Amino acid sequence: MEEKQADSYLDLSHLTEDEQTTILQVLQRDLELRRLDEGRVRNLQEKEKDPVRLRYLSGEWFREQCSKRHHTWSASTLVHATIRHRKTKTRDLPLTGLFNGETEETSHNNNTSPEAERRLKDSKDDESGWSEGNLKPTPAPRRKNPIEQLSGSMMSLFSSGDFGLVEVRGRIQFSLVYDTQKEELHVKVYCCEDIAAARKNRSDPYVKAYLLPDKSSQSKKKTSVKKKTLNPVYDQTLRYKLHIGELRSRTLNMSVWHAEPLGRNVFLGEVEVSLGLWDWTYTQPLWQDLQPRVHLSPESISCRGTIVLSIKFIPDGFEGGGLPLTGELHIWLREAKGLLSTKGGSIDSFVRSYILPDASRQSGQKTRTMKRSISPTYNHTMVYDGFHTSDLREACAELTVWHREGLKSHKLGGIRLSSGTGQSYGEAVTWMDSTEEEVAVWTSMIENPNHWIDTALPIRTNLAHRKLIQTLAETLSKEVEHFNKTEVECLIREFNVLLGEPTIPGRAAHGLDRAAFRTILHNMFGMTDDMIMDGVFRTFDKDKDSFISMREWIEGLSVFLRGTLDEKIKYCFDVYDLNGDRYISREEMIPMLKNSLIRQPTEEDPDEGLKDLVEITLKKMDYDHDGRISSDDFERAVREENLLLEAFGTCLPDMKSIEAFDQNVFQKQLEQ
């Protein structure tokens, strides 16, 4: 059977990089859909007692028929198995070996050839000596910072494997040593203890390491696989060649995996060590508990590195002799650390600057492009003249870091040094959005003329676009009811915060997915009913692409928060119409009304009360007596009795939640 499958593997080596990326995205989407369906089936198993009906609703009957008629793999399974396959006759291919990607060194079965076994032994690194001792360094605590967010998102996006299949437990023992003569970081992995069992009380574990933010094949190191053990012993050293100055901006990620022969490798836990906080005087081995992985999307990354600079302002005539003739602003760009591109790895980068509100070509300056570096040194000074001290309160120094790829350049993020008032010369502007750190640097420069102010600031991704928000707000305020232009601007900013990146016309922005939107409904409006929240999401999502776009967010909130009775009637009916057939049937009423009943422990058959409630509801609202509620029936019933608007569950916010939303989104932003 295995030989037959091996012969049916596809040859994908001819594909272009874009085609490879597309295939991987489709496989990832396929996996997500399968997991969603598994969750749906689990919910059905909990609620549905009739095995015949459960078999029909879950689709088990269809899978049984397919297994009888078709004995070949599905298309997605075949492609995925091809990606996972290793050709032991030539060399051990990586997880994405046919795409010339990262190198896997694991052995996936016990029937490997002698040649493969020899290569596996040769791949082990020489062990470095160490002495026993009682001193153990305290590793950096796990906390939310840009590098840790990078690990959560990048590892989940660029590493194949199944997350969350097993509960993470156990610990790992390792030590860190930096060899100053060879300029090498030695990560010695000793062993793991009491790790989770991935398959029938056993695991085939190995340890994989990345030196973030570099997730390339050069950064990836692995130990060998230890078969059928929950307490593997490795005693292997993973070596990284890098300058000591780069350690400060790197984070070591070590993850433990179960090697699966044909399926996805199973995640067993990870640890992260911020090398900038590590005490390098300690070289003894230490234990650290394995942690679960936090899944984050690239859009949620708020920082893409750190920029190091010095800035000073020289007032006119300050140097004596009437010089300088006008005030001068000096910006000394020293370096950037830990630059994170969208694809990871070393990049070609440069920095561009403007002194706003002047965004003309004459105002723009930029550094030279630094090649293939995560931590480039620019050492470039930008000088702007023609300033008075009073102008600095109205101006903003915008510095953006760019990634050059061929003829194209992509903005990674930037900083804005200003007073952060949101206004310039009496007019509201979006680019006066400096953080507290950025405002502190700008203020210190103004208060200390002719003195260099040194700083290191995070390269943030949420820079508000200069004219975009006003333009969008002006357009949308004419098309959307119940919100004025200023309120639409506030809603756009809030959407950008929730989404994790500004929405830019012409660039694909998926928007808020179902999970993120349900979290918002729960945290902001106190909703708890999963079925109702799914209905609200479906009603907001007008184009049915499974994401709430910025326009859908604002249009939905206009009805959700301030809609008229007519608008709310249509909205509530759409929420309750679970299958979208423009009717609310008995089958749809039962699960919605089920959550509104308070069950008594003495009830013999609680479903009888539910059936009675459904019949009462139909008698009250089914005017054409067809056994279901149409949109006309629903509208007529609500107009006669307004309390029936939310008859099947709370899908609108109460006044307290609306007032809190207005306070947090509208009033606070306007006060800032």
pLDDT of 411 > 60? The answer is: yes
132-136-137 Cα angle (round to 5): 140
Whether the per-residue pLDDT at 116 is higher than 60: the answer is no
> Which position has the higher pLDDT, 217 or 91?
217
In degrees and rounded to multiples of 5, residue 415 shows phi and psi of -135, 160
Confidence of residue 461 (pLDDT cuts 50, 70, 90): confident
| Mean pLDDT of the region 212-227 | 85
Is residue 300's pLDDT more than 70? Answer: no
Amino acid 390: pLDDT: 84
The pLDDT of residue 103: 34
User: 124: Cβ–Cβ under 8 A, 6 or more apart, which residues?
Assistant: 224, 236
Within a 10 A sphere around the Cβ of 663, how many other Cβ atoms? 10
Confidence of residue 329 (pLDDT cuts 50, 70, 90): very high
* Torsion from C-alpha of 30, 31, 32, 36, nearest 10 degrees: 100
Alpha helices per DSSP H over 282-416: 389-392
Give per-residue pLDDT as tens, 120-179.
344 333 333 333 333 334 343 333 333 333 334 344 434 545 566 788 999 999 999 999
The answer to whether the beta carbons of residues 209 and 216 sit under 8 Å apart is no
Q: How far apart are CA 188 and CA 185, in angstroms?
A: 10
User: In this prediction, what percent of the chain has a pLDDT beyond 90?
Assistant: 29
Band (486; pLDDT cuts 50, 70, 90): confident
Instruction: Specify the residue for token string 């990634």.
Output: 403
pLDDT at 102: 35
H helices of 433-562, in order, are: 436-447, 468-479, 485-499, 514-525, 530-540, 550-562
Chain-centre distance of CA 526, in angstroms?
24
* Structure confidence at residue 652 (pLDDT): 92
Q: At 78, phi and psi to the nearest 5?
A: -65, -45
Answer whether residue 326 shows pLDDT above 60: yes
Q: Are strands 423-424 and 427-428 parallel, antiparallel or unpaired?
A: antiparallel
Contact between residue 575 and residue 529 where contact means Cβ atoms under 8 Å apart? no
Q: The whole model's pTM is what?
A: 0.44
* 126-138 exposure pattern, b = at least 16 Cβ within 10 A, e = fewer: eeeeeeeeeeebe
Secondary structure string (H, E, C) spanning 377-439: EEEEEEEEEEECHHHHCCCEEEEEEEEEECCEEEEEEEEEEECCCCEECCEECCCCCCCHHHH
Q: What is the rounded distance in angstroms from the CA atom of residue 105 to the CA atom of residue 92?
A: 7
Q: pLDDT over 70 for what percent of the chain?
A: 74
pLDDT at 86: 40
Whether residue 331 contacts residue 381, with contact meaning beta carbons closer than 8 Å, is answered with: yes
pLDDT in tens, 29-80: 777 788 888 888 888 888 777 887 777 777 777 777 766 665 555 556 656 5
Going by pLDDT thresholds of 50, 70 and 90, the confidence category of residue 594 is: confident
Q: Specify the pLDDT at position 142.
A: 36
Sign of CA dihedral 317, 323, 324, 330: negative
109 phi-psi bin (left φ>0, alpha ψ -120 to 50, beta other): beta
Confidence class for position 475, pLDDT limits 50, 70, 90:
confident
Reply yes or no on whether the pLDDT at 287 is more than 70.
yes
**More confident call, 506 vs 388:** 388
Question: How far, in whole angstroms, is CA 579 from its chain's centroid?
Answer: 30
Q: What is the DSSP string of 49-99?
A: --HHHHHHHHTHHHHHHHHHH--SPPHHHHHHHHHH---TTT----TTGGG
> Averaged over 622-642, what is the pLDDT?
90
Beta bridge partners of 413: 401
Distances (CA, A) of 350 to 103, 222, 307, 335, 374: 31, 33, 11, 10, 12
User: Any idea how long the chain is?
Assistant: 672
Least confident of 41-50, 60-69, 240-249, 449-458: 60-69
Q: Which residue has the tokens 């509104």?
A: 596
Least reliable range by pLDDT among 86-95, 294-303, 538-547, 564-573: 86-95
